[in-house]
Amino acid sequence: MPRQYALGLIGAGSMGSALARGLVRRGALQPAQLIVSDADRARARALASELNLRQGAHNAEVAAACRFLLLAVKPPDVEPVLQEIAASLGDDQTVVSIAAGVPLSRLQRALGRAPAALVRVMPNMPALVGAGAFALAAPGLPEERVRELTAMLEALGDVVLIDEHLMDAVTGLSGSGPAFVFLMIEALADGGVAAGLPRPVAQRLAVQTVLGAALAVRETGQHPGALKDAVASPGGTTIAGLAELERAGFRSALISAVRAAAARAREISQGG
């Protein structure tokens, strides 16, 4: 059957709302192409009013009406919602879950014999400002649907296709990584203040330094180590600072942080 909406959103919380706002405001989808529902009807109504979207009367209505269905509910709610909407889904539809720690196998069990295709996506917090990192696991999804979903998400950031067994590592790196970078920005600003800069100036310079460094890696395509070496002249200020970071175990601490976050993601996905 023809589907009236390109995207249905179940869950109008912080991430679901942010994704809807980004898709509409960046022109990836028109408001008339989205429909939303949430257990908190007032929250769904607020988002629908803000973006001029249609609010579904219930989850099953949203599920039946769209080509792509984005599940943006808390992990414990994913399976009950899938069981609720399974009878409304057809084989021309794709269900996209952004629930951390809920593998495709559990999603499929919850859907039972429902014929819709399943996709798992791990977004991250910078998607709120259109600079997200999205990892997409879509085994068996037709190439045309992969391209369509990727094009939508690319309005909000960078998209990589991965095998699902790598999703916990993605969670540790790009899922948790923004918090590590925020901590680094805070520490850089603190260092600037300790060296005599006013706090607003230190924070502004720290933010732009991190942003600029990331863009330099992306735009030049050079290895970060090569760019680091280009900044660190012999006997200069940068190499003195780098030596201090090495003494403090900066690189090994970041590696350990990513591995710890990935290990915790694995525990959660296994019910720990």
Rounded CA-CA distance 103/78 in Å is 11
* Strand (E) or helix (H) holding 179: helix 177-194
Amino acid, single-letter form, for residue 99? A
| Nearest CA-CA partner of 104 in 69, 139, 156, 76 | 139
Instruction: For residue range 153-193, list pLDDT tens digits in order.
Output: 999 999 999 999 999 999 999 999 999 999 999 999 999 99
* Predicted TM-score (pTM) of this structure: 0.91
Rounded CA-CA distance 251/34 in Å is 43
Please tell us whether the domain made up of 175-269 is placed in CATH 1.10.3730.10. Answer: yes
Mean pLDDT of 145-153: 94
Q: Which CATH number fits domain 5-167: 3.20.20.70, 3.40.50.2300, 1.20.140.10, 3.40.50.720?
A: 3.40.50.720
CATH 3.40.50.720 in the chain, residues? 5-167
* pLDDT score recorded for residue 1: 52
Cα 39–chain centre separation:
22
Q: What b-and-e string marks burial along 154-188, b requiring 16 or more CB atoms within 10 Å of the CB?
A: ebbbebeeeebeebbbbbbbbbbbbeeeeeebeeb
* pLDDT score recorded for residue 272: 64
Token digits of residue 213: 């460094």
CATH 1.10.3730.10 in the chain, residues? 175-269
Mean pLDDT of 188-211: 98
Rounded CA-CA distance 205/215 in Å is 15
The residues facing 226 across adjacent strands are none
The CB density around residue 136, as the number of other CB atoms within 10 Å, is 22
Tokens 């933010």: give the residue: 207
Token digits of residue 257: 């942080």
